[in-house]
């Protein structure tokens, strides 16, 4: 299933770092950023998470939460969050149900070998629970800035 801008965001409830739980229901009525990343504590994912962490003060002023999602189990997610001082929730989608609902659990290929994995994708969901913007196959440099710019247009 592939989502388009304007579609309703698929429902989710996931365990997250810091003993938290994140769910679509608790975010109703306010915009939020939901981003999917392949694996905790890898160079690209670290760079992306740290960029969102740096943007948190501005996002906080706008009242826009950020949630990072990976297939990792909670233990590596907690270590990743602690190691880099990530204050926003990092959620575990170990069964990939949320990734599948958002269309980011895809076939990938490396060195000719095909496998299933998370495609680095960011969703900006508006206060009505609709997808306002999608960034597929995210290039990390400048991405947090692009998301901030899109927020200005909400």
Q: What are the residue numbers of the active site?
A: 45
Closest by Cα among 85, 93, 23 to 50: 85
Phi, psi of 37 (to 5 degrees): -130, 150
- Joined together, the tokens standing for residue 22 give 């994140």
Residue listed under structure tokens 């997250």: 16
Helix pair angle (43-62, 74-84), 10° resolution: 70
DSSP H or E stretch at residue 90: strand 90-92
């Amino acid at each position: 299933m592939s989502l388009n801008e304007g579609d309703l965001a698929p429902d989710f409830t996931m365990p997250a770092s810091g003993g938290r739980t994140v769910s679509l229901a608790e975010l109703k009525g306010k915009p939020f950023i939901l981003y999917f990343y392949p694996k905790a504590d890898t160079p690209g994912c670290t760079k992306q998470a740290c960029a969102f962490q740096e943007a948190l003060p501005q996002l906080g002023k706008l009242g826009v939460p950020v949630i990072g999602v990976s297939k990792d189990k909670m233990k590596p997610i907690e270590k990743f969050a602690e190691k880099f001082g990530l204050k926003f929730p990092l959620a575990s989608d170990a069964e990939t149900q949320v990734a599948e609902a958002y269309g980011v659990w895809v076939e990938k290929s490396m060195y000719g070998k095909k496998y299933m994995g998370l495609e680095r994708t960011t969703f900006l969901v508006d206060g009505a629970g609709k997808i306002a913007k999608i960034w597929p196959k995210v290039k990390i440099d400048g991405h947090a800035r692009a998301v901030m710019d899109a927020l200005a247009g909400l």
